[in-house]
Structure 1
Amino acid sequence: MENMINIIDTKVSDFKIRFAEENDTKLILDFIKELADYEKLLDEVVATEEVLYDSLFVQKKAEVIIGEYEGKPVGFALFFHNFSTFLGKPGIYLEDLYVKPEMRGKGLGKIILSFLGKLAVKRNCGRLEWWCIDWNESSIEFYKEMGAKPMDEWTVYRVCDSELCDLANKF
């Protein structure tokens, strides 16, 4: 039985948002795989239901909201808090936002992003930010329409896999 307090009405008829619960772990992984497939990165997904369950619901390292249209899950957003030393405030980092292709064009992605903006304001965050793959022109245009500005002067750096272990061993 769904927790009705968890259901959030939106401005789009028949579209509701809710925070994910433990029994959504498989659904979240399915959405992650759909997004990865769309981005041609499916072979990079190593997450499992067990890992996601532990990270999301035991350690609470991130949060997920599920978008439901006419009671069916059609999209999700996974996010977590980061911190800006310059602002002296937390921010929300949006790791993934995905709406099923057949549901695009209905304004659902805008509602999800707007909800995250409202959540950031409610939680006294100084910013909402995310990365976008350079070739995804439709998403880039969408984000700009929503008021986002690209941070072209910054370069993302990453250490992972064996390099992460090597770095850790230098300590």
Structure 2
Amino acid sequence: MRKTIDTKVSNFKLRFAEEKDTGLVLALIKELADYEKLLNEVVATEEILYDSLFVRKKAEVIIGEYEDKPVGFALFFHNFSTFLGRPGIYLEDLYIKPEMRGLGLGKVMLSFLGKLAVERNCGRLEWWCIDWNEPSIEFYKRMGAKPMDEWTVYRVDDLELSKLANEF
């Protein structure tokens, strides 16, 4: 039997993903990508996720279940703040199925990650949000999050990442 974590929302429980959840995690990632109009960018496979999550343990996943059915997930990992000298939690993705939104499930999942960050002596809980996603931005602000609009995210990937690596 899977260990579940009770929440303040009736019939909503959380649990850490297990190896047998790899296909479910991938399906939820694809749902999120489709919502963000980025489904064509998903190259993750069950094999890649299994290796990253359960072999190399590079990230963790929380599954949200309403009436014992999976309705959302949060994928996160630890980062580190040199200024604080402590780890933080970086939330890569938080997703609740559209038909389940408005019930407070996302708030529960985000607050659980806050609790986890405190328990793990982390100094921060951080994430990115796409600029056009106004409902999420408003939700995050209501939760006390502050946009870090004085920072710009930079990324090197694909061919440019290979070129950069070859410079060494």
Q: How does the TM-score come out when normalised to structure 1? A: 0.98
Q: Report whether the alignment pairs 1:104 with 2:110.
A: no
Partner of 2:7 in structure 1? 10
Partner of 2:126 in structure 1? 129
| Deviation readout 1:110-147 (Å, 9 max, x if unpaired) | 00000000000000000000000000000000000000
- C-alpha distance in 1 between matches for 2:99 and 2:105: 11
1:61-140 pair list within 5 angstroms: 61-140=58-137
- Give the match's secondary structure for 1:40: coil
Give the paired residue count: 168
* Structure 1 residue ranges (4+ consecutive) displaced by more than 2 angstroms after TM superposition: none
What amino acid is aligned across from residue 111 of structure 2 in structure 1?
S
- C-alpha distance in 1 between matches for 2:167 and 2:65: 47
Q: Report whether the alignment pairs 1:52 with 2:49.
A: yes
What amino acid is aligned across from residue 153 of structure 1 in structure 2?
E
What amino acid is aligned across from residue 102 of structure 2 in structure 1?
G
Alpha-carbon offset, residue 61 of structure 1 = 0.1
What amino acid is aligned across from residue 24 of structure 1 in structure 2?
D
Alpha-carbon RMSD: 0.4
Q: How does the TM-score come out when normalised to structure 2? A: 0.99
Q: Report whether the alignment pairs 1:34 with 2:31.
A: yes
- C-alpha distance in 2 between matches for 1:38 and 1:72: 20
- Give the match's secondary structure for 1:95: strand
> Could you tell me the percent identity over the aligned residues?
83
2:153 corresponds to which of 128, 138, 156: 156
